[in-house]
Amino acid sequence: MSEEMSEDLTRAEEEKEAVEEAAMLSPRLIFEAIRRNGEEELNRPLSALWVSGVSAGLLISFSVLGEAFLRAHLPDESWAFIIENLGYTFGFLLVILGRMQLFTENTITTVVPVMISRDRRAFGRTARLWSVVLVANVVGAFIIAAFLAFTPVLSDEVRAAMTELSHHATSMPAVEGLVRGIPAGVLIAALVWMLPVVETSEVAVIVLFTWLIALGDFTHIVAGSVEMAFLVVQGQLAAEPAVFRFFLPVLAGNVLGGTAVFTMLAWGQIRPEVIGKTPKKAA
């Protein structure tokens, strides 16, 4: 083979790699990556989903703890609010990088297979996963909340800060909790959409998006469940307002923001490209 021909082949290979790398950024391929991830999640055993979900409920507590630690030790200045909310990212980093089952994060990917197949079995499988993950997250939240409430693990300053944060998160009217849950759902869904194309800055993207949730005082059902549970187990919040004023409205807001708003918009922009090209998976 001549040297000129060898250079041409090398150049062609480099151009092919460059095109493939650029193609990775296309919405259709991002959608396909999320669809495959959703299919994998739907096929996981219930026992694996349960353990992963409980673990996520436990570790998301570090979002509340991170805020409480910073609030307890930062000076009482106007700028402290910005730094304090950086602590909210800690739990999300643990859960997302650990690939644990977090409602509003992993569950969003399972909407994609449903939008493609749109049959009763697909809806049933998704409902099963959502139910198991949500219950597991809440169980984990109550376990860690009881641990934090009834052991001397927290200093008086941090305990007071966490109590204050928990009352703030759970005391807003139901309608406000629902409305504030919508942007949180959109931001988590946007994070899911972006992660397949993020290579070197995954941590930065998670930090920025979840920090924005805290800065906007938006409501997240799982992180908020830790705050809710922290008050409930100590008798500072009754079951009725916990469920009907906080939990259900925030859950509805997160689902609405994550699926009906963001995911449907994402589906709309690439639907003409994937209809007829993505094979349906066998039930």
Q: What is the pLDDT of residue 5?
A: 54
For residues 241-270, average pLDDT: 86
pLDDT tens across 109-164, in order? 777 777 777 778 778 888 889 999 999 999 999 999 999 999 999 999 999 999 99
Q: Please give the domain boundaries of the chain with CATH numbers for all domains.
A: 27-274 (1.20.1080.10)
Q: Which residue has the higher pLDDT, 261 or 147?
A: 147
Q: What is the pLDDT of residue 221?
A: 95
Query: Looking at the whole model, is its pTM more than 0.85?
Result: no
Going by pLDDT thresholds of 50, 70 and 90, the confidence category of residue 172 is very high
Q: What is the pLDDT of residue 18?
A: 47
Going by pLDDT thresholds of 50, 70 and 90, the confidence category of residue 15 is low
- What proportion of the chain, given as a percentage, has pLDDT over 90? 59
Rounded Cα gap, residues 200 and 220, in angstroms: 26
pLDDT tens across 214-223, in order? 999 999 999 9
Q: What is the mean pLDDT of the chain?
A: 85
Rounded Cα gap, residues 44 and 121, in angstroms: 15
